[in-house]
Amino acid sequence: MKSFRMAKLNLRLVVLLAIFVALDVIVGTFLTFGTNIVQVGFSFIVNTVIGAFAGSLWTGIAMGIGDVVSTLLFGHFGYFPGFTFSAIIVGIIYGLFFYKKQLAWNSWKDWLYVLIAVAVIMLVDTVFFNTLWVSILYHNPFSVYLMTRLPLLWQIPFRTIVIMIILPALQRIPSIKKWIL
């Protein structure tokens, strides 16, 4: 994991962040399944790519903006700032783990690294923060919702495999490689 680093802000990065925030909103809205309490989605792919090219600060800001935009456009239950806070924190974590990180499909160390990154993100976001926010919103004990969210940890190996398929493949494309590495 790299220290708190970020890409230099320029017009190209701002445009890329805007495109990926829009992509995050679309994927997070239309490729997310579940109930109000438990949801499964694929926006982690977009967030990983943002973390890989933007670094921790810009990824956190992008994910926070994405959360607000998504809620304003498609939010059925109103805005809650706790989810924006956790989106920013998780964005920072994505950037810390994936910014300029070279990954190789055949390296067990990279598989372990991604597994740890995904586990940290899932524990911080899905298990802790989102459980806390849902318990506050619905006025029920944290432990009640925690039991419904723990089974979501099955996503850790799934997300690890998906990230290890997509990110090393993107890193091999020359025009994309210059942004990710």
Say if residue 4's pLDDT is above 80: no
Q: 3-state SS string over the chain?
A: CCCCCECCCCHHHHHHHHHHHHHHHHHHHHCEEECCCCEEECHHHHHHHHHHHHHHHHHHHHHHHHHHHHHHHHCCCCCCHHHHHHHHHHHHHHHHHHCCCCCCCCCHHHHHHHHHHHHHHHHHHHHHHHHHHHHHHHCCCHHHHHHHHHHHHHHHHHHHHHHHHHHHHHHCCHHHHHHHC
Q: Is residue 94 in a domain?
A: yes
Choose between 75 and 123: higher pLDDT: 123
> Domain of 35?
11-180
Which uninterrupted H or E stretch holds 34? strand 32-34
The CATH number assigned to the domain holding 172 equals 1.10.1760.20
pLDDT digits (tens, 9 = 90+) for 104-142: 999 999 999 999 999 999 999 989 999 999 999 999 999
Q: Is residue 36 in a domain?
A: yes
Q: What span, in angstroms and rounded, lies between the C-alpha atoms of 141 and 149? A: 13
Q: Is residue 85 in a domain?
A: yes
For range 17-29, the mean pLDDT: 94
pLDDT digits (tens, 9 = 90+) for 54-64: 999 999 999 99
Q: Is residue 1 in a domain?
A: no
Q: Is residue 32 in a domain?
A: yes
Q: Is residue 5 in a domain?
A: no
Total count of domains within the chain: 1
Token reading at 61: 């800001």
Q: Is residue 21 in a domain?
A: yes
φ, ψ dihedrals at 32, nearest 5° = -120, 135
Q: What span, in angstroms and rounded, lies between the C-alpha atoms of 140 and 72? A: 26
Least confident piece of the model among 65-74, 92-101, 108-117, 169-178: 169-178
pLDDT at 181: 66
Choose between 76 and 141: higher pLDDT: 141
Q: Is residue 4 in a domain?
A: no
Mean pLDDT value across the chain: 90
Say if residue 3's pLDDT is above 60: no
Comparing CA positions, the residue from 162, 4, 181, 3 lying closest to residue 102 is 181
